[in-house]
Structure 1
Amino acid sequence: MDISFQTVEGRFNYRVAGLLIHDGKLLIMKDQNQSYYYVPGGRVMLNETSERAITREMEEELSIEVNVKRLLWVNENFFIEATLREKFHEICFFYLVELKNQELLSKGNEFTENENGKIHTYYWVAIEELKEMNLYPLFLKERILELPTSVGHIVETK
């Protein structure tokens, strides 16, 4: 069971995200009918560690295996999701991950995956170009330029 639940006041999400960087590019994604980009990841399941969750999510979404290098940030994010128009309170653990093999790179700079009927389009984008994109959460646009050596805690309210 995913740790996500609806209340009268909005939705709570516990999620993980993986920063996959190759040749100065970050892998980001966008779903059909959405106006914004984000990094791959998903919800943590009950009784699952966040580290196990990011490896599972990368397997499910991209059919790849990753090595988890380290936890970068814990993000408390309060926002209204643009597509659903739903108020969110989200806790997200951002991990730096690396590919176990290079197969994903053969798909090119833009490719589409079907995850159980949900269409995701992935893009390898130069890190310096992220500032100009509609990428969430917003802190990534700046903080991706210099990855921390210890875990950071970031709170965003919108």
Structure 2
Amino acid sequence: MDCGFTGENGWFRYRAAAIIVENGCVLFAKNQLENYYYSIGGGVHLGEKAEEAVKREVLEETGVAYEVEKLVFIHENFFDGTGTLDGVRCHEIAFYFLMKPRGTQELNSNSYTQGVREYMHWLPIKNLKDYVAYPGFFAEKLLNIGDTIEHIVTFE
């Protein structure tokens, strides 16, 4: 069971997400229903550590067992829902982990989310601002990942 809930006109989720970088590109997912790219990851299960959750989610979505290098961002995201969350106030807390590179962009993905096929896309970091991709702060922050954990709050 994911750590999250839906209440009266509100939605909350605790998420673990991955930053997978290979050859100057970062991995995003996209599906046929949405007009934007989104980071790899998903809900942390009740009783699960965030680091274990991100490894599980990455394996589920990419078909590859990546290892965690380090935690780089804690993101508090406030946004108005769309699609199945249309009209709902949303609040998500996400831990973003930088994964250890493998030296290849080859994946074995066969990922579905809520019954919809997901496709993996390697987007060039230097051109991220040209894409509709979430989280939006990746376009700036991935150009120079620091040595400390950064706390980011957005209203997207």
TM-score, structure 2 as length reference: 0.90
Tell me if 1:67 matches 2:53. no
Match of 1:91 in 2: 93
Q: Aligned pair count?
A: 153
Q: 1:106 and 1:138 mapped to 2: Cα distance?
A: 25
Q: 1:8 and 1:69 mapped to 2: Cα distance?
A: 38
Match of 1:57 in 2: 57
Q: Deviation at 1:4?
A: 1.5
Structure 2 CA distance for partners of 1:95 and 1:82, relative to 1, 3 Å:
same
Q: Deviation at 1:106?
A: 3.4
Q: Deviation at 1:13?
A: 0.4
Structure 1: runs of 5+ lacking an equivalent: none
Q: Is the 8 A contact 1:3 1:44 kept in 2?
A: yes
**RMSD of aligned residue pairs (Cα, Å):** 1.9
Structure 2: runs of 5+ lacking an equivalent: none
Q: Show CA shifts across 1:99-128 (max 9, x none).
A: 5685xx335xxx963337430011111111
Match of 2:2 in 1: 2
Of all paired residues, the percent bearing the same amino acid is 33
| Moved beyond 3 Å, runs of 4+ | 99-102
Q: 1:135 and 1:114 mapped to 2: Cα distance?
A: 19
Q: 1:135 and 1:15 mapped to 2: Cα distance?
A: 17
SS at structure 2 position matched to 1:66: coil
TM-score, structure 1 as length reference: 0.89
